[in-house]
Structure 1
């Protein structure tokens, strides 16, 4: 074994790693920026206005979750929107309470793909 050649080889390998590190850092920064843009593009922008109908997320801790129960409670009407993101809701009994705006989603009665079906009455042919 030649100790001098082995030590030079190790030093050269360490120098190569030092040269590779900035490139790896730059590529990881580019990857993180790309993933951040992708995640921000997937976030739904929700804007709520006074008078909108919304559903409230039921976030109570349940030890035995019921499979067929919906996570979203009955519809509420927005009575006030605060600049901090808090929203004041009003239920059908005119009770008002304030919740975080992230627990809400819009409630569409008909839905986007609603189709109207007409009822046709047919008489028996005689």
Structure 2
């Protein structure tokens, strides 16, 4: 009976190690600097969220980057707050790419 318990313990340990390695691979390392523009993931559940509404709000300005991933953000109105660095992503602006119009003639 003790052998089965030891085998189960070892199997559980191996499973937890594999799961931790997989989880750590999924975490994206993002480096932020003060002054950068970022978007904040809004995870607050809503009653009627809207199917196509974006879950990202912002842009916000990075004020301070703390060790271990905490980031202090500044709103447009000057208010500051701290968030987890995993909840923000880089904001590259609302660059709208203009496409050239190609006039199409009548097919021959």
Answer yes or no: same fold by TM over 0.5. yes
Q: Give the structure with the larger helix fraction.
A: 1
| TM-score, normalised via structure 2 length | 0.70
Tell me, which stretches of 5 or more residues in structure 2 are unaligned? none
1:22 and 1:68, CA in 2 relative to 1: closer, same or farther beyond 3 A?
A: same
Considering only aligned residues, what root-mean-square deviation do their CA atoms show, in Å?
2.8
Count of aligned pairs: 102
Greater RCO, CA 8 A, separation 6+ = 2
Tell me, which stretches of 5 or more residues in structure 1 are unaligned? 1-16
- Larger radius of gyration between Structure 1 and Structure 2: 1
Q: State the 4+ residue runs in structure 1 displaced beyond 6 angstroms.
A: none
Deviations 1:1-58 (A, max 9, x none): xxxxxxxxxxxxxxxx332221221122112111111111111122221122100122
Match of 1:80 in 2: 64
2:48 corresponds to which of 64, 67, 70: 64
